[in-house]
């Protein structure tokens, strides 16, 4: 299985390559009111309006200024009504990596502090750990609704 590896606050994450549609630099993002802070807004992807999520904020990491290396990875995630495109903002894209099933370990439970529901598993490659994400679950409409309810 091939993964696109990217960095977030010094940690390395992986997304299945077949979920990735394209990688672009940060462009003008239009904010959408009444949404949680990690929803940065929407962008124009060749005529389509797609949402953009900041993964640092999503994973409650400290936010940073966007730089030249900051990227938007456009992924195709499973929505409630079929596939939907969305962009995720990451610190930098590192590489494409093959991870064999034998190198993947199930995410251990960390109790209440760490939400592991969107972690597919932990990949151990050359002594390093990559956190493999289930992008379908990172931002689903259901979760968004849930968050909105929680917020107010």
Partner 1 sequence: MVEQLLARLDELGAKAVLTGAGAPETLRVLSKLEEEARNAGRDDAARSVEDLARAVISASDAEKDRLMKAGLENLRRLLESSGKAAAPSPIAQDPELIRDFVNEADEHLAEVEAQVLALERDPSSIDPLHAAFRSFHTIKGLAGFLDLQSIREVSHEVETLLDRARKRDLAVTSGLNDGVLERADYLKRAIRAVESSLQGAAGPDPPSVKILARVRAALAQREPTPVVAAERESRAPDQEAAAPDPSKDQEARSDKQAGSTLRVDASRLDYMMDMVGELVIAQSLVSHDPQLRSLENGSLHRRLNQLGRITGEVQRMAMGLRMMPVGHLFSRMRRLVRDLARKNGKQVRLETQGEETELDKTIIEAIADPLMHMVRNSLDHGVEPTQERLAKGKPAEGCVVLAASHQTGHIILRVSDDGRGLNTEGILKKARERALIAPNQSLSENEIFHLIFLPGFSTAEKITDVSGRGVGMDVVRRQIEGLRGRIDIESTLNQGTTFHLRLPLTLAIIDGLIVGVGQERYILPLSSVREMLRPTPQMLFTIEQKAEMAMIRGALLPVVRLNRRFEIPSAVDNPCEGLFVVAECEGRRFCLLVDQLLGKQEVVIKSMGEAFRNVAEISGGAILGDGRVGLILDLNGVFREAVHA
Residues engaged in binding partner 1 (CB under 8 A): 28, 30-35, 39, 41-44, 46-51, 79-81, 84-86, 139, 141, 144-145, 148
Rounded Cα gap, residues 133 and 31, in angstroms = 25
CB of 75 to partner 1, least distance (A): 13
CB of 133 to partner 1, least distance (A): 17
31 versus 68: smaller Cβ distance to partner 1: 31
Nearest-approach distance from CB 7 to partner 1, in angstroms:
25
**Best CA proximity match to 15, nearest among 72, 62, 69:** 72
User: How many angstroms separate the CA atoms of 150 and 35, rounded?
Assistant: 12
Kindly state the smallest distance separating residue 118's Cβ from partner 1, in Å: 16
Q: 3-state SS string over 11-78?
A: EEEEEEHHHEEEEEECCCCECCCCCCCCEEEEEEECCEEEEEEEHHHHCCCCCCCCCCCCEEEEEEEE
- Cβ proximity to partner 1, 31 vs 100, nearer residue: 31
Of the pair 131, 139, the CB lying nearest partner 1 is at 139
């Amino acid at each position: 299985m091939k993964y696109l590896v990217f960095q977030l606050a010094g940690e390395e994450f992986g997304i299945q390559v077949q979920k990735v549609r394209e990688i672009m630099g940060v462009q003008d993002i239009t904010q959408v009111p009444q949404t949680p802070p990690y929803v940065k807004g929407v962008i124009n992807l060749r005529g389509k309006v797609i949402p953009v999520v900041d993964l640092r904020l999503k994973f409650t990491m400290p936010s940073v200024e966007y730089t030249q290396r900051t990227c938007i990875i456009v992924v195709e995630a499973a929505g409630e009504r079929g596939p939907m495109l969305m962009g995720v903002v990451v610190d930098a894209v590192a590489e494409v990596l093959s991870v064999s099933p034998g190198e993947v370990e199930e995410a251990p439970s960390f109790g209440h502090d760490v939400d592991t529901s969107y972690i597919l598993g932990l990949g151990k490659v050359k002594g390093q750990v990559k956190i493999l994400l289930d992008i379908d679950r990172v931002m689903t409409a259901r979760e968004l609704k849930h968050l909105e309810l929680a917020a107010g």
